[in-house]
């Protein structure tokens, strides 16, 4: 019996781990973490002076530690706040890029439109005289409606152009027939004959085709830039889950609690934490890429001989050409109108307005922006480059956020923090997106409950891409505020608060110790303090036996 007791004590003394990570018999000082913790803005009340047993820890490994439960909670909240701050900062950077592209394109397009209107006014006023000044409202209304359409107002572009030509026909017919008394009812009849008469030749048809294609593409493009920025803003504000907070705490601040402040996370370990935390964001990737690709296709339509510059700046010349075509054929047009709408009695001025118009000849409007035609080429090149750069944004976030925090250098893989200690990280790196996280060893995720806010933004991207594809085909689209669009329903959708409740299934990974957020019942929690308990029990039992034998 004596030999058994001696052997037990010997085994116990050999297998008992050293007190603290450095193998010293004296509890290590917590001065470093006290200084670190205070530097983060927390009070030092209750912070240990030296290491204590860590059975109370719910996130960090339960060995000897310098962290209390309150410290662990505070540092966990801090880790989430810092992570959310990094996401917002990254989002702001992308938002600023998209906003810059929007302002550059929008500014240039409005410059073209305003310049076109000014060119028409400055040329028509001296050459057409009273014919223009008395009817200038028709032209200003056209440009006003084009601006409103481009800005997203509920304006039907085809109706705007049809109404412009109908009004112009009325005004020119009245001016060309000043020797007659012409009433409002008669002019209304005249405007209804425009499809049959085609007084302006092919110009209205050609102009409608070019204007519709250009303005639909321009409006959809700037709308796409705005929607993209809004999606980034909303997604960047999504609060991270409790599970992500615990994973971030374990990776970021648990080394401090273990006295390993200099330990940096293993690269693959950080990847798994970030991929788990940003799983829902990564699901934006497919629709985000589709939107960027479609916007690039739309942007490619803006330069070249039939691009935005030439279409917008050619409006005054096309209108002038159409007016001259009508005046050249005014006698034939009058004859057909008299047949359709009835004869009108004379009694006006002795001369016809048509004579005055024909004497002046066709008006040619100078292209004042012709020397800066390469500006649109540069805008298209720049925006295309930016759109291509932003395509992998949502799936590249984990590597971006890990880039400056993981261990690097020779032997880093064997000496990095793996969530438990300084050692190699063995689990494989997970894929991107929510479905790929089913076996993520670092972040507990219920893959059947996606984040509702992000799912709604995925739907916004789909809607915007559909509109842009319509625009590529020259089809007009209705641009209501996309924030009012309702996301699709289906399995996996839930309300915000409902998604945050309920048990998350934890799927164990065989090659990695399971880290429980709370100590599970009837299971051993890994930690150096617990490993010493069997030896202490044997030691006390042996002493008791020796005393009883005496």
pLDDT at position 411: 82
Q: With a cut of 50, say whether residue 487 has pLDDT above it.
A: no
Residue by residue, DSSP assigns 509-539 as -TTS----SSPPTTSPPP-HHHHHHHHHHHH
Q: With a cut of 90, say whether residue 439 has pLDDT above it.
A: yes
Distance CA 251, CA 255 (A): 7
User: With bands split at pLDDT 50, 70 and 90, how would you rate the model's confidence at 14?
Assistant: very low
Distance CA 189, CA 187 (A): 5
**CB count in 10 Å sphere of residue 143:** 18
Residues in contact with 99: Cβ distance below 8 Å, sequence separation at least 6, in sequence order: 225, 229
**Looking at 159-173, 218-232, 286-300, 359-373, which range is the least confident one?**
359-373
pLDDT tens digit sequence for 320-368 = 999 999 988 999 999 999 999 988 877 655 555 556 565 555 666 666 5
Where is pLDDT greater, at 419 or 175?
419
Burial of residue 122 (number of CB atoms within 10 Å: 0-12, 13-18, 19+) = middle
**Looking at 4-8, 340-344, 399-403, 493-497, which range is the least confident one?**
493-497
Q: With a cut of 50, say whether residue 499 has pLDDT above it.
A: no
3-state secondary structure at position 201: coil
| Sign of the torsion formed by the C-alpha atoms of 150, 155, 157 and 161 | negative
pLDDT at position 344: 80
The residue-averaged pLDDT of 287-297 equals 96
Residues in contact with 134: Cβ distance below 8 Å, sequence separation at least 6, in sequence order: 175
Which single residue is written with the structure tokens 């479905």? Answer: 435
Q: With a cut of 50, say whether residue 22 has pLDDT above it.
A: no
pLDDT at position 478: 59
Percent of the chain with pLDDT over 90: 60
Q: With a cut of 50, say whether residue 537 has pLDDT above it.
A: no
The ranges assigned to domains in the chain are 79-436
3-state secondary structure at position 50: strand
Residues in contact with 203: Cβ distance below 8 Å, sequence separation at least 6, in sequence order: 318, 319, 321, 322, 325
Distance CA 433, CA 534 (A): 44
Q: What is the largest CA-CA distance in the chain?
A: 146
**CB count in 10 Å sphere of residue 386:** 17
pLDDT at position 2: 53
Q: With a cut of 50, say whether residue 16 has pLDDT above it.
A: no
φ/ψ of 27, rounded to 5, equals -60, 135
pLDDT at position 353: 55
Distance CA 478, CA 146 (A): 15
Q: How far is CA 96 from the centre of its chain?
A: 11
The residue-averaged pLDDT of 147-156 equals 92
Q: With a cut of 80, say whether residue 375 has pLDDT above it.
A: yes
**Contact predicate 335/176, CB 8 Å:** no
Most confident of 134-138, 170-174, 284-288: 284-288
Cβ-defined contacts of 289-293 (< 8 Å, 24+): 289/391, 289/392, 290/461, 290/462, 290/465, 291/224, 291/227, 291/228, 291/461, 291/464, 291/465, 291/468, 292/228, 292/387, 292/388, 292/390, 292/391, 293/391
Q: With a cut of 80, say whether residue 308 has pLDDT above it.
A: yes
Q: With a cut of 50, say whether residue 7 has pLDDT above it.
A: no
pLDDT at position 343: 82
pLDDT at position 17: 38
* Mean pLDDT over the full length of the chain: 81
**Contact predicate 141/97, CB 8 Å:** no
Q: With a cut of 80, say whether residue 80 has pLDDT above it.
A: yes
User: With bands split at pLDDT 50, 70 and 90, how would you rate the model's confidence at 504?
Assistant: very low
Which tokens in the block code for residue 208? Answer: 């409608």
User: With bands split at pLDDT 50, 70 and 90, how would you rate the model's confidence at 179?
Assistant: confident
Burial profile 132-142: b = 16 or more Cβ within 10 angstroms, e = fewer: beebeebbeeb
pLDDT at position 24: 40
pLDDT tens digit sequence for 85-124 = 999 999 999 999 999 999 999 999 999 999 999 999 999 9
Q: With a cut of 50, say whether residue 240 has pLDDT above it.
A: yes
pLDDT at position 128: 85
User: With bands split at pLDDT 50, 70 and 90, how would you rate the model's confidence at 180?
Assistant: confident
pLDDT at position 464: 96
Percent of the chain with pLDDT over 70: 76
Distance CA 325, CA 338 (A): 19
**Looking at 32-41, 102-111, 248-257, 298-307, which range is the least confident one?**
298-307
pLDDT at position 175: 86
**Looking at 89-93, 132-136, 216-220, 365-369, which range is the least confident one?**
365-369
φ/ψ of 306, rounded to 5, equals -110, 30
**Contact predicate 348/180, CB 8 Å:** yes
Question: Which of left, alpha, beta for 522 (phi over 0: left; psi -120 to 50: alpha)?
Answer: left
Where is pLDDT greater, at 537 or 467?
467
At residue 379's C-alpha, the angle toward residues 377 and 383, to 5°, is 120
User: With bands split at pLDDT 50, 70 and 90, how would you rate the model's confidence at 422?
Assistant: very high
Residues in contact with 249: Cβ distance below 8 Å, sequence separation at least 6, in sequence order: 59, 60, 72, 75, 76, 79, 80
Which tokens in the block code for residue 354? Answer: 């048509």
Burial of residue 339 (number of CB atoms within 10 Å: 0-12, 13-18, 19+) = exposed
In angstroms, the Cα distances linking 189 to 85, 138, 174, 183, 192 are: 66, 18, 12, 10, 5
């Amino acid at each position: 019996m004596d030999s058994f007791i001696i052997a037990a004590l010997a085994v116990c003394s050999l297998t008992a781990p050293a007190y603290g990570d450095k193998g010293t018999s004296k509890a290590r000082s917590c001065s470093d973490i006290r200084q670190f913790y205070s530097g983060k803005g927390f009070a030092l009340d209750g912070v240990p002076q030296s290491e204590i047993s860590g059975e109370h820890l719910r996130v960090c490994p339960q060995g000897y530690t310098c962290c209390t439960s309150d410290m662990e909670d505070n540092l966990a909240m801090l880790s989430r706040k810092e992570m959310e701050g990094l996401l917002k900062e990254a989002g702001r950077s992308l938002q600023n890029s998209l906003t810059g592209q929007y302002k550059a394109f929008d500014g240039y397009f409005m410059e073209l439109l305003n310049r076109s209107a000014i060119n028409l006014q400055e040329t028509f006023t001296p050459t057409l005289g009273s014919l223009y000044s008395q009817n200038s409202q028709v032209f200003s209304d056209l440009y006003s409606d084009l601006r409103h359409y481009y800005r997203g107002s509920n304006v039907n572009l085809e109706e705007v152009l049809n109404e412009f030509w109908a009004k112009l026909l009325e005004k020119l017919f009245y001016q060309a027939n000043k020797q007659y008394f012409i009433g409002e009812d008669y002019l209304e009849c005249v405007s209804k004959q425009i499809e049959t008469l085609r007084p302006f030749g092919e110009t209205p048809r050609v102009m409608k085709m070019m204007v519709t294609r250009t303005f639909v593409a321009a409006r959809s493009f700037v709308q796409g830039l705005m929607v993209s920025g809004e999606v980034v803003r909303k997604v960047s504000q999504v609060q991270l889950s409790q599970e992500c907070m615990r994973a971030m705490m374990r990776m970021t601040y648990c080394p401090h609690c273990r006295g390993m402040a200099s330990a940096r996370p293993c690269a693959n370990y950080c990847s798994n934490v970030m991929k788990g935390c940003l799983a829902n964001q990564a699901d934006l990737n497919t629709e985000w890429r589709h939107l960027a690709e479609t916007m690039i296709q739309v942007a490619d339509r803006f330069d070249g001989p039939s691009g935005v510059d030439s279409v917008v700046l050619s409006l005054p010349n096309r209108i002038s050409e159409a007016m001259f075509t009508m005046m050249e054929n005014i006698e034939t047009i009058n004859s057909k109108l008299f047949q359709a709408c009835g004869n009108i009695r004379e009694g006006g001025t002795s001369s016809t307005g048509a004579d005055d118009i024909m004497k002046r000849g066709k008006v040619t409007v100078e292209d004042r922006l012709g020397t800066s035609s390469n500006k649109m080429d540069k805008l298209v090149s720049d925006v295309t480059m930016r759109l291509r750069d932003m395509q992998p944004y949502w799936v590249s976030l984990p590597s971006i956020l890990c880039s400056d925090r993981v261990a690097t250098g020779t032997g880093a893989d064997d000496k990095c923090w793996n969530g438990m200690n300084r050692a190699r990280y063995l689990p494989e790196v997970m894929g991107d997106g929510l479905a790929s996280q089913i076996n993520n060893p670092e972040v507990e995720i219920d893959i059947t409950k996606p984040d509702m806010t992000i799912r709604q933004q995925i739907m916004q991207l789909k809607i915007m891409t559909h509109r842009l594809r319509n625009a590529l085909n020259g089809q007009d689209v209705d641009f209501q505020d996309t924030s009012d669009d309702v996301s699709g329903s289906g399995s996996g959708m839930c309300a915000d608060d409902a998604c945050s409740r309920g048990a998350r299934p934890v799927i164990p990974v065989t090659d990695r110790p399971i880290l429980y957020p709370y100590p599970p019942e009837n299971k051993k929690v890994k930690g150096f303090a617990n490993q010493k308990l069997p030896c202490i029990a044997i030691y006390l039992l042996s002493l008791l036996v020796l005393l009883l034998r005496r």
